[in-house]
Amino acid sequence: MGKLEGKVAVITGGATGIGRAAAKRFIEEGAFVFIFGRRQEVLDAAVADLGPNARAVKGSVSDQADLDRLYAAVTGERGTLDIVFANAGAGSPLPLGKITTEHIDEAFDTNVKGTIFTVQKALPLMGRGGSIILTGSSAGTTGAPAMSVYSASKAAVRNLARTWAEDLKGTGIRVNVLSPGATATELAKEALGEEGQKVFGSMTPLQRMADPAEIGAVAAFLASQDSSFMTASEVAVDGGLAQI
């Protein structure tokens, strides 16, 4: 029996990268998973790969009506929810002096507002033993040129977990942050190329980028009862990048 046998999970940003790797691992551990993303063709491909214990709902975490449709789908098919992996993220580099309101909105609408409402709208479906996982980033701890807005949004996510652990006292629902470093997702491979990936990998003590499956494995740990005495914590899965 898997660690997530009989559990129902929602993963935002679940069609590609870390989200898809987590969905695969959750299903292998026995969960039924709803993935949420903005591109229907990518969602369809993911469900075809993930198999009968996956469902897809199209939408954006920055649109509350889309989130309502997501949780209506969960309610209609499963009636309950055990795990929320608020993984959808956005952001791009822009240095101080060139930052625009549009640039701020891009990151904060998804990473902060989207995370808040992904979780808040899930709560009526969740009960004791539930696990909420927020995707942070090593960028929320370290400084990097041109990344101030994205980094600030991820630092905000880290604080949400601390605050929500207090708000959720007595509910039996845990909330933790999973903070990856450089990860070899499809998007990263396309953007960086082979040489760029080597450069990013060389910044870590492990001298490589993470495989998305490595992040998905830690998400499964945080989703399961193996982490039953953890809440308000941040688990860094960054090859040591932000730790030394």
Sequence-ordered alpha helix ranges (H) in 129-238: 148-167, 186-202, 212-223
Work out the average pLDDT over 192-203: 81
In the predicted structure, residue 191 carries a pLDDT above the cut 90: no
What does the pLDDT average to over 36-52?
A: 98
User: Where do the domains of the chain lie, and which CATH numbers do they carry?
Assistant: 8-237 (3.40.50.720)
| 94 has a pLDDT exceeding 90 | yes
Is-catalytic flag, 198? no
The span from the CA of 80 to the CA of 32, in Å, is 11
71 noted as active-site residue: no
Choose, from 24, 58, 71, 150, the residue flagged as catalytic: 150
Choosing from 7, 24, 58, 154, which is the catalytic residue? 154
Q: Mean pLDDT throughout 11-37?
A: 98
* Average confidence (pLDDT) over 30-46: 98
Give the residue-averaged pLDDT of 131-160.
95
State the Cα angle at 30 between 27 and 34, rounded to 5°: 45
- How confident is the model at residue 27, as a pLDDT? 98
- Res 202: pLDDT: 86
The arithmetic mean of pLDDT across residues 178-184, rounded, is 93
Q: Are 50 and 33 in contact (CB under 8 A)?
A: yes
Contact assessment for residue 36 and residue 55, using Cβ atoms and an 8 Å cutoff: no
Indicate the average pLDDT of the chain: 95
pLDDT tens string 125-134: 999 999 999 9
Query: From CA 87, how far away is CA 71, in angstroms rounded?
Result: 16
